[in-house]
Amino acid sequence: MTVSALTGTRIRERRLSLGLRQGQVAAEAGISASYLNLIEHNRRNVTPDVLLRLADALEVDRQALAEGAGSDMVEDLRAAAAGLPGARAEVDRLEEFAGRYPGWAALTAALQARAGGLERAVESLNDRMTHDPHLSAALHELLSALTSVRATAAILDETSDLEPDLQARFHRNLHLDSERLAGGAEALVAFLDGSDTAREQGIIAPQEEVEDWLSGQGWHLAPLETGAVAALDSGIAALASSAARVLARAHVARIVADVKALPLGPFTKALAALGPDPGRLAAEFGTDVLAVMRRIALLPGSNVGLVVCDGSGTLVFRKPARGFPLPRYGAACPLWPLYAALARPMAPVRMQVETAGPSGARFRTLAFCQTRLPGGFAGPELREAAMLILPDPGPRSGETLGIGSTCRICPRAECVARREPSITREGL
């Protein structure tokens, strides 16, 4: 176990917090009070045996005394400091802070996590408000009904000589529009509440519904490994919109084909032997690269993310990777290697990327684009590109590409590919 230079400080802090005297603790640990005094002032190293006895005497975990805050805690505190650079936190004394005041450090880290979560929620809602076609349609419906109600009510109020048949007609319009307004408002409130009502009323996008369903299955449709396609019927039938059910069935059909081409057992073995190289695995099994990429990302327990886009660049499938934020709607970051692949069909793109933000994470991305000619040589060429997102704990390479999620929520102010200003604090 590593014993840090501040172990003595932590022992002293712990003793004082318990209201114990040096003599009491020293006696219980079987050492002299003067030796404990030297330890507490970091002037003597503490042996593992003494550390264990001191930890028992202070009723604390030995590791907590020896190592203090874990690296995760220090990273969380560093992120908190980076989040509010104006506060001028003493970043060079992070470990000392975490060691001396573990409770306050944990609280600061928890507040940072909470603030981060809230910021992400705001970004996500803003993203949705800006780009969600379903929400846009719901708002349009509401405003149209409101416009009609306002204009009709004003006519009824301001026209004293309105003919009876026109009066009756405008009253009926008013009634119908007020009903429409009430229904629209209810749907909108439900949507903003995130309740199931929004789902039932089709405000949630079909693609999002399917992804929610897949996420609930851990992204792996286990029954398909044994050909039990019917086992998924009830889950698909429970999806709220017919469009989502169509998309889910199309996904299932695709995975059935993937399972046939890449059986779970042999594929898992080959993946372990060859590594996550879609090209080599595709050659090994005599199938296409995109099928292998889906199989890698959708294996049970896989932490690999996957995004797929069509020829327009629209994301048609999104399995997130932890730390790699994906836009819910609208266009993604144009710097994603996915789009480099889309522009060069059949040419593999391999690149290390780093996400934006104070705690930018690194990923290894593998992107590839395939074309189809469903209408033959006379028909249009359809493109489909996919990008695997693999967590990359390794060091930053010289050619790491800084990317974002989507311009609207990306803090990289100086990005050469920026389409529109960011709403995030860092981007303002």
Partner 1 sequence: MGKSVLLIEDEENIAEAIRFILSRDGWQVTHLAVGHGAAEAAAQLMPDMVILDHMLPGVSGLDILTALRANPATLRLPVLMLTAKGQPRDREAATRAGADSFMTKPFANAEILAEVRALAGRQPP
For the bound state, the minimum distance from the C-beta of residue 368 to partner 1, rounded and expressed in Å, comes to 35
Nearest to partner 1 of 147, 242 (CB atom): 147
- Candidates 107, 110, 111, 151: give the one binding partner 1 (CB under 8 A): 151
CA Rg value for the chain: 30
- Candidates 158, 165, 399, 414: give the one binding partner 1 (CB under 8 A): 158
Residues paired with residue 384 on neighbouring β-strands, in sequence order:
310, 370
Binding letters toward partner 1, positions 177-206, x by CB under 8 A: x-----------------------------
For the bound state, the minimum distance from the C-beta of residue 140 to partner 1, rounded and expressed in Å, comes to 5
Nearest to partner 1 of 157, 414 (CB atom): 157
Is residue 46 packed enough to be buried (19+ CB in 10 Å), middle (13-18) or exposed (0-12)? buried
Kindly indicate which of the ranges 79-87, 151-159, 239-247, 388-396 contains the residues binding partner 1, using the contact rule CB under 8 A. Answer: 151-159
Kindly indicate which of the ranges 18-26, 75-83, 135-143, 340-348 contains the residues binding partner 1, using the contact rule CB under 8 A. Answer: 135-143
* Cβ atoms of residues 328 and 356 within 8 Å: no
DSSP state for residue 304 in the 8-state scheme: -
Collect contacts of 241-250 with beta carbons under 8 A, ≥24 apart.
241/202, 241/204, 241/206, 241/209, 243/206, 244/206, 244/207, 244/209, 244/210, 244/213, 246/206, 247/206, 247/207, 247/209, 247/210, 248/210, 248/213
Kindly indicate which of the ranges 59-67, 153-161, 300-308, 388-396 contains the residues binding partner 1, using the contact rule CB under 8 A. Answer: 153-161
- Candidates 173, 268, 370, 400: give the one binding partner 1 (CB under 8 A): 173
| Residues contacting 18, CB < 8 A, separation 6+ | 58, 59
For the bound state, the minimum distance from the C-beta of residue 301 to partner 1, rounded and expressed in Å, comes to 44
Tokens at residue 63, please? 């590791």
Binding letters toward partner 1, positions 83-122, x by CB under 8 A: ----------------------------------------
- Candidates 140, 260, 372, 419: give the one binding partner 1 (CB under 8 A): 140
Kindly indicate which of the ranges 3-11, 154-162, 253-261, 276-284 contains the residues binding partner 1, using the contact rule CB under 8 A. Answer: 154-162
Measure the CA–CA gap between 77 and 414, rounded to whole angstroms: 26
- Candidates 37, 148, 217, 268: give the one binding partner 1 (CB under 8 A): 148
Amino acid letter at 285? F
Nearest to partner 1 of 179, 193 (CB atom): 179
Measure the CA–CA gap between 16 and 145, rounded to whole angstroms: 68
Report the relative pairing of strands 305-310 and 315-319 from DSSP bridges: antiparallel
Q: Determine, following the binding rule CB under 8 A, whether residue 126 of this chain makes contact with partner 1.
A: no
Measure the CA–CA gap between 315 and 63, rounded to whole angstroms: 46
- Candidates 52, 155, 246, 401: give the one binding partner 1 (CB under 8 A): 155
Amino acid letter at 321? A
Tokens at residue 232, please? 């998924």
Nearest to partner 1 of 115, 125 (CB atom): 125
Nearest to partner 1 of 378, 428 (CB atom): 428
Residue with tokens 């970091």: 42
Nearest to partner 1 of 2, 160 (CB atom): 160
**Binding footprint of partner 1 on the chain (CB under 8 A):** 139-140, 143-144, 146-152, 154-155, 158-159, 166, 169-170, 173, 176-177
